[in-house]
Structure 1
Amino acid sequence: MSMPFYSLSRGAMLSTLLQWEANPDYSREAVTLLAGDGGERRVEVGTILANLVNAAGATAEASADAGNTGDGVLTMEASPVTSAVREGVYVVVCIDPAADGGTFDVQDPAGKSVGTATVGALFGKQVRFTISDGAADFVAGDRFEISVARASAASNAGKVVAWDPEASDGSQVIWGIALNEAVAPVGEDLVGGLVGLRRLALAKERGIAWPDGVSDRQKALAIEDLEALGVVVRTS
């Protein structure tokens, strides 16, 4: 059996990414890089990471209350949840109706408000969706429900891969940022050989290794997700 391989990043490379951290023992976390499949799995310094246990198989299904006056639609994003999502039912209630618009309060499964959603604008805290206007305006009390459930992550629970905003297997949910280069051979996990930046830290946007083809919108959402974890990204 070949030995796992990883290399610590050079200081200059790390300094391009990491601006500040509260304490390495708290801000960083060693994790297992999932085995390569069809080829070695490689990440570089600044790669955004997803932990497959966080939202592997997560589903988020929206439904409108049968008694709604407004006939607008709530549509989930292709990547419908963030790493802060909670399993259960989110309730989205109209609190400030307006002609061809309106504002909705978003409550998590525990009944706590996590923000307000505006008709026509993306809501991206814990759950991601957009409410569209319909022919009939919303009135106060109109509501939607979003049911979030997680499937078992099975044997890949707790392992990380590179973030993929187009995926639906859990790798679309951001967990942190790689602080060192790491390689997992085909069929063999790299156990503890990858260190991720997780919390109470400042990172430089120019040091992030964005995946090929990522859009400006996906970058903006990724930065929001990282900040929700406690990793604030400086863009200038």
Structure 2
Amino acid sequence: MELNLTSLPEHNTRVLLIDLENYPSQINELPKVLAQYHLVVICYAQSNARIPIDWLMPLNETINKAQLKIFRMTSNGKNAADFGISFYAGMLMSQLPPDAHFVIMSDDQDLDHVVNLLKNQQRSAERLGMRKDEPKPAKLTPPAEPAVQTAELAKTNGKDPLTLLIKLYCAHLITYKKNRPAKKTTLLNSISNKLGDEKHRSEALFQALVKLQALQIQDTKVQYFDKRIVELTH
């Protein structure tokens, strides 16, 4: 079945390309997020690769709209499915609007080359899966509710500027969840840029976020706690 490109939105088309042989743990969420994508391409080479039965019902609507392509490579070489992903990414890039967003779902780090090529053509692209040289995340206990806040943050009259800045920056972290600063230095720069005329409060805001357990620093790297961040926006 050929892909139907005529019924796609004129802007912000979202394309999902799945490497069926190297899919990451995030793929378990596919039935829940499938509606976010306008086109789905699944590539595989090995004959023993199977589409999980739990996907069938969520995929049904996509199939009916002719917005799903399941492609088996004729050769089952080591990187055969990668070539399928690369081919369809390039083909769709030339046929879709410039603001289309490509998501490659795979643990195969070689597909980062495809993502980089798309970005070099001013296209939005990302790979969901294991990162190169990615260490196993440390097991961290989620932070408990803070029992004591600093005197400045404990004000309840609603007029404390730092309290407002905490809410605003936490809302910023939620909005840009996929592009959060990964290191302390970049986080401080982000806070300073976000505060504008209030940048003199950057260090105070950073310390407040740490004390309120919205985040913590481990060896210069930032660990975020989403539940607490959401709470601080209220």
Give TM-score scaled by structure 1 length.
0.23
- Higher helix proportion (structure 1 or 2): 2
- Higher strand proportion (structure 1 or 2): 1
